[in-house]
Amino acid sequence: MVSTDTAALYLHPDRNIALELVRATEAAAIRSSPWIGRGDKLGADGAAVDAMRAFLGTVNFDGVVVIGEGEKDAAPMLFNGERVGNGRGPACDIAVDPIDGTSLTAAGRQNALSVIAVSDRGSMLDASSVFYMDKIVTDASGIGVVDIRKPIGENLRALAAAKGKQIGEMRVAVLNRPRHEQLIADIRAAGAGTRLISDGDVAGGINAARYDSRIDMCVGIGGSPEGITTACAIKALGGFMQGRLAPNDDAERARGEAAGLDCDQVYELDDLVKGDNTFFVATGVTDGELVDGVSRKGPIIRTESIVLRGKSGTIRRVLADHLAEKWLVDDLL
C-alpha cells in the first residue's frame, strides 16, 4: 500500500524533475547552435523543437503543454495540449519555448534561451487564445508599490523610492517595438533610462526580478506564452509581476473571452500561476546577462543553465560539458 506522503510526492512535481528538464533545454540549445547567425530562425526553432520533444519524452511525468510556441508565426512548435513525458510521474502543466529569441539566434545576437516551466496540473493560466500580454515585472521592492494601471512615471518614482535609488539610476527593459514608442518616451521623460531589447522578453523579466541585476523593471507588451513562463520564474525569485492581456482586435478579444479569459482584468502573479510548486529551467543559446550561450571548446560543447524552484526559492546554475562526438549520433537518449 502506498503511503499518503509517497502518493503526494507522486502527484506533484518534485525537486528531481529539474535536472531532467535541464537535459531537454540543453539538447534544444545544442541542436539549435549551428543555426546561430545563419539568418534562418525557423531552421533554428525546428532543430530546438525536435530535440526538446525527444528529451521530454524520457522524463518521468505526465505533462500537458498549456503554453506552447509557434501558433502566432507558423513556426515549428510543441503545440498546446500536446502530452509530453513518459506518463508515469506527476501530472504537470508545461510552458515551453524551445528558443525564446529565434530572431536573436538567427542574427547571432545575445539573450536567446531555451526555456521550460513546470507547475502542478491546472495551475497555469491558459492564455493561448490571446497572443500578447502587457506585463510589468520588478524585484520584491515592487510588491505593494507598483501597479500596471498607474502611469509609468508614477511607478518608476515609487519603485526608485522603495529601492533607495535616484530616478536617474533606474533602468527599464522594454522590447524595441513601434508599439512602445510612447512608453519609451514616457520612461525617459520620467528621468529613467531604457534597456531596449530586440527579442526575448523572458530574460528581460527575470533580470528585472534578480537582486544582482542592473535592470530595475521590465514593462511592455510581449508574448502571453512568455508571460506565463516568466511568472514561473518570478515565483522562485520572490519578485513582483502583473499582466493584462492585449488582444490585437475584436476577433481575438472574442476568442479570449470564449476561452474564459478577461481581457480587462489585471492578472496578479498568483493568477498567472497558482501556488509555489513551480520550476523554471533555461539554457543559453547565445550569450546573455542571465547565462552564457552554447560554446565549443575543443572536443567539448559547453552549456550553462539556470534552474529556479518556487517552493524553495532556490536558484541553481548548471555548467555542463558535453562530449561533442556524442552529438553526432542520431539517438542520444
- Summarised one tens digit per residue, pLDDT across range 202-226 is 999 999 999 889 999 999 999 888 8
Question: What is the pLDDT, as a whole number, of residue 5?
Answer: 43
Q: Do domains 17-123+277-326 and 132-272 have the same CATH topology?
A: no
> Would the annotation count 5 as a binding residue?
no
Predicted model pTM: 0.87
Helices (H), the chain: 4-11, 17-32, 41-56, 102-107, 152-163, 181-189, 201-209, 224-237, 250-258, 269-272
Within 10 A of 297 (CB to CB), how many other CB atoms are there?
9
User: Which cell numbers in the block locate residue 20?
Assistant: 531532467
CA dist., res. 88 & res. 84, Å (int): 11
CA distance 244 to 333: 40
> Quick one: what percent of the chain has pLDDT higher than 70?
90
Q: Is the pLDDT of residue 255 over 50?
A: yes
Domain 132-272 coded CATH 3.40.190.90: yes
> Class for domain 17-123+277-326, per CATH?
alpha beta
Q: Is 97 annotated as a binding residue?
A: yes
45: annotated binding-site residue? yes
**Whether the predicted pLDDT of 135 surpasses 50:** yes
Q: Is 201 annotated as a binding residue?
A: yes
Would the annotation count 132 as a binding residue? Answer: yes
Domain boundaries, the chain: 17-123+277-326, 132-272
Strands 193-197 and 171-175, bridge-based pairing:
parallel
Q: Are 69 and 77 contacting, i.e. CB atoms less than 8 angstroms apart?
A: yes
The pLDDT of residue 6: 40
Between 122 and 12, the higher pLDDT residue: 122
Binding site annotation covers 199? yes
The answer to whether 73 is annotated as binding is no
As a whole number, the mean pLDDT across the chain is 88
* Residue appearing with cell numbers 510543441: 78
Q: Does 50 carry a binding-site annotation?
A: no
Q: Is 292 annotated for ligand binding?
A: no
